[in-house]
Structure 1
Amino acid sequence: MTGNGRVTTFIRNGLTFDVRDEGPIDGVPVVLLHGFPQDSRSWDKVAPLLHRRGFRTLAPDQRGYSAGARPRACWAYRTSELVADVVALIDQAGLGPVHVVGHDWGAVVAWGIAAERPDRIRTLTALSVPHPAAFLRAMLTSRQILLSWYMFAFQLPWIPERMIASDGYGYRALLSSGQAPDRAKRDLESMRDRSRARGALNWYRAMFLSSPGSVTGKVRVPTLFVWSDGDTAIGPVGPELTARFVDGPYTYEVLHGVSHWIPDEAAERLDELLGNHLHNH
């Protein structure tokens, strides 16, 4: 933390995480959690819109992405560890309960915080990825397992690190998923750093090391879930099942004609939804 009260880093278990703390310093805090293969810059279009509404945003570069927080072992990326990282940010910054918004893998972490540490959360907003228990059920009952083939490919050693190089397969895959060329280059350029690529991929490699309890808990905080029907990675079944795993106030919104990359592609529409959700709670 700097002298002006801004949070630039936080530390947990010897790991140092970078944070982008922006907007009105006295605004109600919103923690923004990025997904794969992005970092805090994925919120560049969304954060200024929230600042205009009077919110303060804190966007960490999560485990594997921050240069000072890249453990080598796969087990270090279990869901419980990812959740504990964000709780440490909230606690060390002295923010009290916050709004949490997560996209892609950031949504998985956000679901986990809401289920396990509801005392730290005002509201939850999950983008693209449904409640983990709903996603697992969709994997068993729909074509979701076919859409998620890459999760199994990422279990291989070292080959995926090469696949996501900025000028290779990873770039073409992002373009085919609907990501804009400049954003795809932004997201994959840093993956030339092999330690960062390994850390990002370890989120997938640790999936089978997480305890079942970390993905099945029901959520009771006010929840907004946003899915887009142009998402090539997440089919409709998991999103449709998610309501079963939320006992608190729940809103489900579908963005039509939008790809998986909601914060980049539909920032203004997302801002409208967030404005209503955050102010109402």
Structure 2
Amino acid sequence: MLKHIATELLDIVYAEQGDPNGWPVVLHHGFPYDIHAYDEVAPRLTSEGARVITPYLRGYGPTRFLSPTTLRSGQQAALGADLLALLDALQIGQAIPGGYDWGGRAACIVSALYPSRVRGLVSVNGYNIQNIANALLPADPEKEYRMWYQYYLHGERGRAGVIQNRRAFCRLLWSLWSPKWHVDDDVYARSAVAFDNPDFVDVVVHSYRHRFGLVDGDPRFENVELKLSAMPSITVPTITLEGDADGVSPRGGREANSKRFTGRHENRVVANAGHNLPQEAPEAFADAVLDINAWAVRA
């Protein structure tokens, strides 16, 4: 059953499973996915005493902005602020955040800037904080072609394309990013409903333009973005995961940022998993969360 809770900016809709007094885990999905990514992860965690919370991100599913005048920002600072606001609203002092893609970015940001709120971190594809200052520096062609969808969204043709073909566009990304995951239409349709959110296109387009410095961010997050520009270290215990069949973030593509983890850190490679790792390899993701909790208990 879905629940609602209000923060300063959002009515966040989330699923909650497990013992209300259990050890808290907040699992964030990425783009373009939704909370069903954790359908097989959550039961494993709740069976070990966890309280598992899986929110819809801003612009997805039934989560809504409270004011029509709030900038529909998808910038990284907004995602981190939403996670922190959710913890505050639920009166959770300390949790294990986990995620991938946009959700992994939110988890990394809170872990870096507010480590007292984090028992430990699980992040797919490593250190997900964006180095916006260097965003216009070209990568090698092998990496550049994988980012075609981001460049597509930089122009109004891309915005119009997502408005007109949002489900087909997102379905294509699922296929390209998880080439060994054979998704049937029913599984995709269950998640694709989340993309019908009226703010989905605006939030997505803003995200992929802001990270390249093409549009301004929400002024309320300017100080957070300034802190993130320093690429802060993550000191909390962390397990990072990477699928060896990830079509957008190939294995080893972020090794240069491994030095950003200055606490206990372990990287795990998951065979045959693509970008939507929690849904493709739920046991591997759940094992990482359980191991982080065990590290925290022993600390």
Gaps of 5+ in 2: 218-224
The one-letter code matched in structure 2 to 1:273 is A
Q: Say if 1:35 and 1:129 are closer, same or farther in 2 by CA, change over 3 A.
A: farther
1:81 matches 2:85: no
Match of 1:162 in 2: 163
1:164 Cα deviation after fit:
4.7
1:115 matches 2:116: no
1:133 Cα deviation after fit:
5.3
Is the contact between residue 119 and residue 237 of structure 2 (CA under 8 Å) also seen in structure 1? yes
How many Å separate the matches in 1 of 2:107 and 2:241? 13
Q: Say if 1:109 and 1:78 are closer, same or farther in 2 by CA, change over 3 A.
A: same
The one-letter code matched in structure 1 to 2:278 is P
Is the contact between residue 259 and residue 265 of structure 1 (CA under 8 Å) also seen in structure 2? yes
Task: Identify the match of residue 36 of structure 1 among 13, 27, 31.
Answer: 31
How many Å separate the matches in 2 of 1:134 and 1:251? 22
Match of 1:3 in 2: none
Report which stretch shifted further, 68-77 or 265-274: 68-77
| Correspondence 1:171-210 to 2 at 5 A | 171-178=171-178, 179=181, 180-181=183-184, 182-207=186-211, 208=213, 209=216
Please list the CA deviations of residues 75-134 of structure 1 after superposition, one character each: whole Å capped at 9, or x if unmatched: 633222221111111112111111010111101111111111111111111013543358
Gaps of 5+ in 1: 1-5
Task: Identify the match of residue 225 of structure 1 among 240, 243, 264.
Answer: 240
Match of 2:251 in 1: 236
Please list the CA deviations of residues 243-278 of structure 1 after superposition, one character each: whole Å capped at 9, or x if unmatched: 211111111011121111111110012222222222
Q: Say if 1:277 and 1:14 are closer, same or farther in 2 by CA, change over 3 A.
A: closer
Match of 1:249 in 2: 264
Report which stretch shifted further, 256-265 or 124-133: 124-133
Task: Identify the match of residue 269 of structure 1 among 263, 284, 287.
Answer: 284
| Correspondence 1:107-146 to 2 at 5 A | 107-128=104-125, 130-132=127-129, 140-142=138-140, 143-146=142-145
Match of 1:213 in 2: 227
1:69 matches 2:65: yes
Is the contact between residue 227 and residue 255 of structure 1 (CA under 8 Å) also seen in structure 2? yes
Structure 2 counterpart SS, 1:17? strand
Task: Identify the match of residue 22 of structure 2 among 13, 22, 27.
Answer: 27
The one-letter code matched in structure 2 to 1:240 is E
How many Å separate the matches in 1 of 2:161 and 2:206? 10
Q: Say if 1:163 and 1:12 are closer, same or farther in 2 by CA, change over 3 A.
A: same
Please list the CA deviations of residues 35-61 of structure 1 after superposition, one character each: whole Å capped at 9, or x if unmatched: 111222221111111101111111111
Is the contact between residue 124 and residue 221 of structure 1 (CA under 8 Å) also seen in structure 2? yes
Percent of residue pairs identical = 22
Is the contact between residue 74 and residue 203 of structure 1 (CA under 8 Å) also seen in structure 2? no
The one-letter code matched in structure 2 to 1:69 is F
Where relative contact order (Cα < 8 A, 6+ residues apart) is larger, the structure is 2
How many Å separate the matches in 2 of 1:193 and 1:7? 16
TM-score, structure 2 as length reference: 0.81
Please list the CA deviations of residues 57-78 of structure 1 after superposition, one character each: whole Å capped at 9, or x if unmatched: 1111111124422867766332
Paired residues, what number? Answer: 275
Is the contact between residue 112 and residue 234 of structure 2 (CA under 8 Å) also seen in structure 1? yes
Structure 2 counterpart SS, 1:213? helix
Q: Say if 1:239 and 1:183 are closer, same or farther in 2 by CA, change over 3 A.
A: farther
